[in-house]
C-alpha cells in the first residue's frame, strides 16, 4: 500500500485528543504486524478516564537502525471548510489531501508505513522501529509512557538508534525545537449579586499579579539572556491567558485563573522565572500550580548524524522550529531530528491538507534513510 492509501485510512479515524485513540492504534498495530513488525502495546487511562494506546513496533533484529516517532491524536475541529465532506472524510482537491491530521501528522505516519513495507525483515542488518503515541497535542503523556515503560524504547536508547520525529517540516532537517513550560495562579472570591456587598470579586486580587506577569513578559522579550537568535521568534513568547468563567455581568466572579505558557529554548533555566511568579502569587494571596513542562530538543547541527540526514534529504543547512514535539519526552535519545512531510502552517487549520507530492517524497526519503541505516 502506498502513502496516499495509508493516509486515506488514517484520516478516517476520529482521534481527537479528548477521545480514545484505541481504534486507530488497533489499525496501526494490524498494519505493522502484517508487514513483519514485532509489537509492543502500552495502554493507560488519561486523567478523564479515557483509554489511550501507544504502539511500538520493531522490524528486524539487533539494535541501532532507524527509530521513527509519530502521534495519532489530532486537535479538535471547531469549523471545517467543506459542507459536503467532513474533516474525517479524506478529500483530494487540486493535488492536496484534505482532512484533520492529514498534515499533523497522519500523512507522515503513512509515509513511514509505506516505506517500511518495502523492506523484508530478513534483509535488514539493523532494525526499523516505529512508535505511534497518544496525547502529543495536549500532554505528552503517551510519549512519557513510552519513555518510561517501553522495552523497545530502551533498545533504541542503548543501541543509539537514528531517531526521526516525523512532524511536518516540508522535509527540511530540524535539529532543534523549543520546549514548553507553564503555571497557573488561582484567585478565590465569592459569588453574589453585584449590586450588594455580599460578594468578593476574585479578579481584584488577580490585578496586581497580572502587573507582575506583564513585567516578566517584557523582560523575556527584551533581556538577551532569554533570547536565542537561532529561533524565529528568538524569544520564549510568554503567553498570558485569563479565565473567570463568570456567567453573567451582574455576578461577582467567584474564581479567577491566570494561565501562563511559554517556550524555553536550549540551555535556558526557567526556574528563576517560575520562582518569581510563585512569589508574586503568594504575595497576592493566590494559589499557584506548575503545569506541563517539556525539555527543548537539540542535536548538534555540526554532528555527523545531522550531516547524514542532510545528505539524504538533499539539503545543505539544518533549521530550527518554534513548535514542540514528542521529542520533549525522548531526551534520552542521543540522536534525534525532526524530519517529516507537510507544512506546519496547515496544521490545526479548518482546511488542513498535505500536498500529494509531499507524501510521495516523504515515503521516498524515509526509504532512503532505512536503506542507509538498516539495510
Please answer whether residues 88 and 99 qualify as being in contact, where contact means their C-beta atoms are separated by less than 8 angstroms.
yes
CA atoms of 127 and 137, how far apart (whole Å): 28
What's residue 286's pLDDT?
Answer: 98
Domains along the sequence of the chain with CATH? 3-177+295-373 (3.40.630.10), 181-290 (3.30.70.360)
Count CB neighbours of 217 within 10 A: 19
Specify the residue for cell string 493507560.
44
Which residue, chain included where needed, has cell 512519557? 144
Q: How many residues make up the chain in this entry?
A: 375
pLDDT of amino acid 1: 93
3-state secondary structure of 167: coil
**pLDDT, tens digit (0-9, with 9 covering 90-100), for 228-282:** 999 999 999 999 999 998 889 999 999 999 999 999 999 999 999 999 999 999 9
The residues, any chain, with a CB within 8 Å of residue 295's CB and separated by 6 or more, are 179, 328, 331
Half-sphere CA count of 137, side-chain side, radius 13 A: 17
| pLDDT per residue as tens, the chain (375 positions) | 999 999 999 999 999 999 999 999 999 999 999 999 999 999 999 999 999 999 999 999 999 999 999 999 999 999 999 999 999 999 999 999 999 999 999 999 999 999 999 999 999 999 999 999 999 999 999 999 999 999 999 999 999 999 999 999 999 999 999 999 999 999 999 999 999 999 999 999 999 999 999 999 999 999 999 999 999 999 999 999 999 988 899 999 999 999 999 999 999 999 999 999 999 999 999 999 999 899 999 999 999 999 999 999 999 999 999 999 999 999 999 999 999 999 999 999 999 999 999 999 999 999 999 999 998
**Beta strands, E only, 72-108:** 91-93, 96-98
Pick from 47, 218, 212: nearest CA to 135: 47
- Nearest-5° Cα angle at 299, 302 to 133: 145
pLDDT of residue 247: 86
**What is the model's pTM?**
0.94
pLDDT at 292: 84
Amino acid at each position: 500500500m502506498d502513502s496516499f492509501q495509508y493516509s486515506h485510512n488514517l484520516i478516517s479515524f476520529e482521534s481527537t485528543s479528548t477521545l480514545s485513540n484505541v481504534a486507530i492504534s488497533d489499525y496501526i498495530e494490524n498494519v505493522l504486524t502484517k508487514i513483519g513488525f514485532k509489537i509492543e502495546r502500552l495502554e493507560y487511562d488519561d486523567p478523564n478516564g479515557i483509554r489511550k494506546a501507544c504502539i511500538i513496533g520493531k522490524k528486524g533484529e539487533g539494535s541501532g537502525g532507524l527509530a521513527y516517532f509519530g502521534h495519532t491524536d489530532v486537535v479538535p475541529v471547531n469549523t471545517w471548510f467543506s459542507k459536503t465532506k467532513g474533516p474525517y472524510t479524506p478529500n483530494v482537491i487540486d493535488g492536496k489531501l484534505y482532512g484533520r491530521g492529514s498534515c499533523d501528522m497522519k500523512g507522515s505516519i503513512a509515509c513511514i508505513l509505506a516505506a517500511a513495507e518495502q523492506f523484508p525483515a530478513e534483509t535488514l542488518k539493523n532494525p526499523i522501529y516505529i512508535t505511534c503515541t497518544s496525547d502529543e497535542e495536549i500532554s505528552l503523556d503517551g510519549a512519557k509512557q513510552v519513555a518510561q515503560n517501553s522495552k523497545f524504547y530502551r533498545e533504541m536508547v542503548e543501541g543509539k538508534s537514528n531517531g526521526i520525529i516525523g512532524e511536518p517540516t516540508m522535509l527540511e532537517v530540524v535539529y532543534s525545537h523549543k520546549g514548553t513550560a507553564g503555571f497557573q495562579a488561582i484567585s478565590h472570591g465569592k459569588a453574589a449579586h453585584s449590586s450588594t456587598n455580599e460578594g468578593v470579586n476574585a479578579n481584584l486580587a488577580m490585578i496586581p499579579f497580572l502587573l507582575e506577569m506583564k513585567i516578566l513578559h517584557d523582560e523575556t522579550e527584551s533581556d538577551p539572556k532569554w533570547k536565542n537568535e537561532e529561533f524565529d521568534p528568538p524569544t520564549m513568547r510568554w503567553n498570558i491567558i485569563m479565565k473567570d468563567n463568570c456567567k453573567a455581568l451582574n455576578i461577582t466572579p467567584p474564581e479567577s485563573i491566570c494561565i501562563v505558557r511559554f517556550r524555553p529554548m536550549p540551555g535556558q533555566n526557567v526556574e528563576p522565572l517560575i520562582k518569581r511568579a510563585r512569589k508574586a502569587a503568594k504575595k497576592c494571596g493566590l494559589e499557584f500550580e506548575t503545569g506541563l513542562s517539556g525539555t527543548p530538543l537539540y542535536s548538534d547541527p555540526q554532528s555527523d548524524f545531522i550531516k547524514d540526514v542532510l545528505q539524504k534529504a538533499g539539503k545543505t543547512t539544518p533549521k530550527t522550529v518554534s513548535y514542540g514535539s514528542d521529542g520533549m519526552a525522548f531526551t534520552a535519545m542521543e540522536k534525534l531530528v525532526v524530519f517529516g512531510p507537510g507544512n506546519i502552517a496547515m496544521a490545526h487549520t479548518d482546511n488542513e491538507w498535505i500536498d500529494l507530492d509531499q507524501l510521495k517524497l516523504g515515503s521516498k526519503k524515509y526509504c532512503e534513510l532505512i536503506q542507509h541505516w538498516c539495510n
